[in-house]
Structure 1
Amino acid sequence: MSKILIVDDEPNILLSLEYLLKKEGFRVFIARDGEEAMAIMEENLPQLVILDIMMPKVDGYEVCKYIRKKSDEVKVIFLSAKSKQQDIKKGLDLGADLYLTKPFGNKDLVAKVKNLLN
């Protein structure tokens, strides 16, 4: 069973993604900011991280750098409202496997998650 960490400061997004991915059979961890995400990764390194960019304490870009220092194996999907080309380029340059913008489709997200993990 693949482990997925969802990192977002929006409670509604956390809850809906947690429900959606658990329903698909994934083991899901949630973090409300980058600091909490890094603490969780010390205990449970996931196979995939769904990561917001704009968060309190530590932003998604810093978390992505942290993930890449720990492992090249962990897949990273940025899920952000930041949709400018330079934001997308920065996310991918930092090592994200995929950059999706909000709003997003649930079926599309689940398909992309499964695709990255296979």
Structure 2
Amino acid sequence: MGGGLPVDGQPTRSEYFIKGTEPQGSSPIYKTIKVSKADGNKIASQSEIDKNEYDARKFIVFHEDDPTSTDTKNRWQEGIDQWIADNHKDDSLYRPPTETSTRVVIDTPTPSPIPTVFPTPTMTPTPEI
């Protein structure tokens, strides 16, 4: 859909290319994002990534800058966002998380078992009678 080499699970079509203009990699719209296991609606924090507390999920991400804007308003992105809302509103593939988790994963030490102390029998002399 976004040009580039085919991506697993996405529709394909036949195209013709002039030699030397063939795509060399997948389209940049296909992103794998590390999502927090604790909150699947947020990008994993560095702490979660370090502790492998994330899921790698695939998304389709459309992002364009507006090169003609003179007021810092990105009208291109507004149009893209509206198109996604109109055509893919219920498809989570088009809704990547934008907020990062603040979760900090702390190593909790595994408690070592406390040894059970058994009384050691002591030898006492038997009194002679």
Q: TM-score range by the shorter chain?
A: under 0.3
**Structure with more of its chain in strand, by fraction:** 1
Give the alignment's TM-score, normalised by structure 1: 0.22
- TM norm structure 2: 0.21
Larger proportion of helix = 1
Q: Which protein shows a greater Rg?
A: 2
